[in-house]
Structure 1
Amino acid sequence: MAQYGKWDRRSLLRGAAALAGAAAAVPLLGGVAAAQAEPAGDADALFKAGHFDQAARAYENILKTDPKNLNAARQRGYVALLSNKFPDAEKYLTMALDLSPGDKDTNYLLADCYLRQDKFALSVPRWQATGEESYAKWFGAVTGEPYQLHGDSARLPFQQMDPMPLVEASVNGGPPKRFSFYTGAPNLGVSASVAKEAGLTPVTSQKVEYENGVIWAHYGILDSLKLGGLELRNLPVGWSTTESGEDTDSDSDGLIGTWVLYHLRPTFDYAGRSLILRRPAPEPAAGGLPLWLAREQYLHSRGSFAGSGPRVVGVNIGGTGEVTAGMFGETAKQLGIRTDHDREIGTFGSSHPAVVYPCYPKEIRLGDAVAKEAYCYTNPNRPINVPLPFGTGFDTMGWFAHCFWKPYHVTLDFTAMSLHIARGPAAG
């Protein structure tokens, strides 16, 4: 894929690597004390600190006096997109596009906006403007209504919990296959073997670097994905092969990414060892924590590490790994979190080599969900902030990972853009 997409390797099946949360969260900026004090008046500072509602108002004030301010228009649209407020997102991003038709960040955000609404044809020229020819060809090849949903609900028992949860799903009417799920990955992915068995042919392919080697990433269209009592039809699918055409991974037969999940109302019932899928709620659910979606698939909410107070955090549900949470940059040091620098761990994050260290915060919290003295990672070598297109552009202390969810069930409501978490198995 073009340079614009090198950071997250969107098509790769193994998006559930132990440190894949590195792509989903950006660390604390400017120290703990600075981050907890709300910036006054500066729209970009408000945005970077995660005060999105205040930032939106500040950008609107700028546009009242300077209607040709590209940054204000683009950022105002981005804020709306974080909460799936599509009319506002389209309004301001189109305004920004009119001001600078070739601006890659604007084109990318608008392409993502159309993608989330299944307006694939409208997304194609925007992907082309960012240099994402593979995406343009992929979505341009989808005809008819994508993600057609049949059925009302499904409960998929976990076939295993560790090192990653697996559930069963059927591809194009075939026998049950083992699928992982992960909110740090974008599209539905299948293994090369499953793709061959299902008769899939790519509409486009490309060679990409991956974990010190190269693989082929293929993009196609799947007729049917059956998840218990639910079926999705006509949906984008990706698969990866070695140069000889073999599977790149044998841990599972496929991966259910965020694009599939945001078409549903998923409950990740870790405590009850099942994945519950329902149609999107007709009315927004009351309460819950805020939910923000950045850069196609990366989910965020508000949580705290080691007494930091509520800050923006990544929400990585599913995937694999032994950690409860991860932190970046100077976050662990600034918060006084005990870190074992003698226990260097080599791993991969977003298909890139990474060195991390075990750390043990006294408490991490997401709403009423708490873990104390839990085993976490810190990656001090990650940049403290990664702007678009390779990062979110806002500060995030870290992310919550696979092991954090085990005592709980958590529901994502993409209508209300809210996260609901409670201890114990889900009812029903």
Structure 2
Amino acid sequence: MTPGADLHDPGRRAFLRRIGLTVAASAVLPLLDAAPGAARAAADDDPDRLFKQGRFTAAERGYRRLLRKDPRDAHALAQVGYIALLSNRFGEAEEHLSKAVALRPGDVAPAQRLAECFVRQDRLARAVPLLKGIDRPRDQAFAELYSHIGGTPWQIHGARSTRVPFVTLDPVPAVEASVNGGKPGKFWLDTYATLDLSREAAEEAGLRAVASMSGGVANNQPVTIWLGVLDSFKIGDIEIRNLPVQWSDAQRPSLPDGTTAAGAFGTTIFYHFLTTMNYAGRALTLRRKTTAVPRTPAADRLPLWLAGDHYPCTLGSLGDYGPRLVTVDTGGIGSGLDTTVEIAERVGGITVDYDHPIEQAGNKIYPITAERISLGRAVGRDLPGHAAEKVFPGLPGPGQSALFGFDLLANFTHEFFKPYAVTFDYTSMHLSITPR
């Protein structure tokens, strides 16, 4: 269900979902307190090491210290800009990333992140020349897509808030929404999704592709992703107009009644609102950002970071180890946790079932049971999950550490959230998780 680059292709993800898997892998994760004495002190002075450990505030202080010595330090500028982007501090991100791009015009990462800074603000036209300057098919495809969106993108109309009941909770939540004024269809809710339609739903809505790209391989068949402009997407009493959309020929999981979903949507929709996925109450609530924010006890609020355009991160713990950076991918069928064998063995409290491995693309994936995992005061006990034996880049959790540049402990997913309501506030950059 995840769009874009080969590492996140919807075909691979849909295949894993069909067999009940959302998996992750990583290289060895260094423990935060592993360096004693002087070595630890030296590490605390290295902003790159601090950033890799997810200690973003300390890392930013270190990079800014470097910039006071050399204001033209392109790496420090890019990293300060990246840290600001992770927290949706768009002004600071634009300032520092623009300077980094000017100093090193051939450096792809700052250019992509500056483009993303504009995309998150719905300033799509500003992203186009940056993406056109990157010689990669995905960036070229999105440059073409954004150049076809005229007028004001992401126009929000209708009610100040809407509450839409889940039509199913399992295998993952789904709600009804309508495309271009058509009859409502069922859409999976997945924080690792953008707005992704089935090919049939796209054809029924009369969509025209303005660009396409490879989405990798699923079931030994290449997957094509088409990109277009959607006139209208209506969820409950709220309508979004003039927005980017994608669709593909990847096979997706079936709904409980055996029918095919019209698509999936997630974080690129969610970050335009104050969004609550209320698992316990079985409903999705979208509130305009101008509405009053519901009061939540401070102890139930966690920091929220956004990596890429749709990968939410927060702080979580496995047993007594943590809190450390984790991803929040709500779309894992039959799973509450994704991590690696190495991490599971080191942190303890996770039973790895070595007798029942699942072979996937040359990797062994083992069922696990986690005695206790937590996001703040929200605790899950005896949860099923999966641990990967080898590095499996691009899948939720630690496997994305190399992609993002910082270590990830795990991915928290569907089964963990069932007793709770989770709210994503991309203005204050907090995630709130409360029992309902």
Calculate the TM-score normalised by the size of structure 1. 0.88
Q: Which of the residues 277, 297, 315 maps onto 1:268?
A: 277
Q: Which residue of 1 aligns with 2:69?
A: 65
Please tell me whether residue 343 in structure 1 is matched to residue 356 in structure 2.
yes
**Corresponding residue pairs, total:** 408
Q: Which residue of 2 aligns with 1:90?
A: 94
Does the 8 Å contact 1:340/1:357 carry over to 2? yes
Q: Which residue of 1 aligns with 2:195?
A: 188
User: Which whole-Å CA distance do the structure 1 matches of 2:190 and 2:235 have between them?
Assistant: 15
**5+ residue gaps in structure 2?**
255-259
Query: What secondary structure sits across from 1:107 in the alignment?
Result: helix
User: Which whole-Å CA distance do the structure 2 matches of 1:403 and 1:89 have between them?
Assistant: 35
Query: What secondary structure sits across from 2:434 in the alignment?
Result: strand
Cα gap change, 1:343 to 1:249, in 2 (>3 Å): closer
Cα gap change, 1:21 to 1:383, in 2 (>3 Å): closer
Q: Which residue of 2 aligns with 1:159?
A: 167
Q: Which residue of 2 aligns with 1:227?
A: 235
Cα gap change, 1:423 to 1:414, in 2 (>3 Å): same
Q: Which residue of 1 aligns with 2:304?
A: 291
Does the 8 Å contact 2:370/2:383 carry over to 1? yes
Query: What secondary structure sits across from 2:111 in the alignment?
Result: helix
Q: Which residue of 1 aligns with 2:226?
A: 218
Please tell me whether residue 176 in structure 1 is matched to residue 176 in structure 2.
no
Cα gap change, 1:368 to 1:113, in 2 (>3 Å): same
Query: What secondary structure sits across from 1:81 in the alignment?
Result: helix
Provide, for residues 10-47 of structure 1, a one-character-per-residue CA deviation record: whole Å limited to 9, x for no partner. 7999498355564xx86762246439979411101110
1:40-189 matches, cutoff 5 A: 40-130=44-134, 131=136, 132-151=139-158, 152-185=160-193, 187-189=194-196
Q: Which residue of 1 aligns with 2:257?
A: none
User: Which whole-Å CA distance do the structure 1 matches of 2:82 and 2:6 have between them?
Assistant: 21
Task: Measure how far apart 1:238 and its partner are.
Answer: 0.5
Provide, for residues 386-405 of structure 1, a one-character-per-residue CA deviation record: whole Å limited to 9, x for no partner. 788x6111011111001111
Please tell me whether residue 309 in structure 1 is matched to residue 322 in structure 2.
yes
Give the aligned residue type for 1:416: S
**Stretch moving more, 72-81 or 249-258:** 249-258
**Bigger share in helix:** 2
Does the 8 Å contact 1:344/1:357 carry over to 2? yes
Cα gap change, 1:114 to 1:204, in 2 (>3 Å): same
Does the 8 Å contact 2:198/2:262 carry over to 1? yes
User: Which whole-Å CA distance do the structure 1 matches of 2:184 and 2:50 have between them?
Assistant: 48
1:413-424 matches, cutoff 5 A: 413-424=425-436
User: Which whole-Å CA distance do the structure 2 matches of 1:142 and 1:214 have between them?
Assistant: 28
User: Which whole-Å CA distance do the structure 1 matches of 2:229 and 2:276 have between them?
Assistant: 26
Give the aligned residue type for 1:324: G
User: Which whole-Å CA distance do the structure 2 matches of 1:324 and 1:412 have between them?
Assistant: 19
Does the 8 Å contact 1:27/1:396 carry over to 2? no
User: Which whole-Å CA distance do the structure 2 matches of 1:15 and 1:296 have between them?
Assistant: 22
Q: Which residue of 2 aligns with 1:255?
A: 264
**Stretch moving more, 123-132 or 290-299:** 123-132
Q: Which residue of 1 aligns with 2:8?
A: 8
Provide, for residues 179-226 of structure 1, a one-character-per-residue CA deviation record: whole Å limited to 9, x for no partner. 0111112x2111111111111010112344222311221100111111
Provide, for residues 86-110 of structure 1, a one-character-per-residue CA deviation record: whole Å limited to 9, x for no partner. 0110011011111101110111111
Cα gap change, 1:281 to 1:335, in 2 (>3 Å): farther
Does the 8 Å contact 1:28/1:397 carry over to 2? no
Does the 8 Å contact 1:13/1:239 carry over to 2? no
Task: Measure how far apart 1:71 and its partner are.
Answer: 1.4
**5+ residue gaps in structure 1?**
none
> Highest relative contact order (Cα 8 Å, sep 6+), 1 or 2?
1
The share of aligned pairs that are identical, in percent, is 38
Q: Which of the residues 334, 338, 353 maps onto 2:346?
A: 334
Task: Measure how far apart 1:232 and its partner are.
Answer: 0.5
Query: What secondary structure sits across from 1:361 in the alignment?
Result: strand
Provide, for residues 276-296 of structure 1, a one-character-per-residue CA deviation record: whole Å limited to 9, x for no partner. 111125677773100000011
Q: Which residue of 1 aligns with 2:287?
A: 278
Cα gap change, 1:310 to 1:30, in 2 (>3 Å): same
Cα gap change, 1:8 to 1:345, in 2 (>3 Å): same
Cα gap change, 1:72 to 1:166, in 2 (>3 Å): same
Task: Measure how far apart 1:249 and its partner are.
Answer: 6.2
Query: What secondary structure sits across from 2:172 in the alignment?
Result: coil
Cα gap change, 1:346 to 1:321, in 2 (>3 Å): farther
Does the 8 Å contact 1:171/1:225 carry over to 2? yes
Give the aligned residue type for 1:161: L
Does the 8 Å contact 1:281/1:415 carry over to 2? no
Please tell me whether residue 410 in structure 1 is matched to residue 422 in structure 2.
yes
Does the 8 Å contact 1:28/1:329 carry over to 2? no
Cα gap change, 1:33 to 1:340, in 2 (>3 Å): farther
Cα gap change, 1:35 to 1:313, in 2 (>3 Å): farther
Give the aligned residue type for 1:133: Q
Give the aligned residue type for 2:195: L
Does the 8 Å contact 1:76/1:92 carry over to 2? yes
Provide, for residues 281-330 of structure 1, a one-character-per-residue CA deviation record: whole Å limited to 9, x for no partner. 5677773100000011111101100211211111112x241011111251
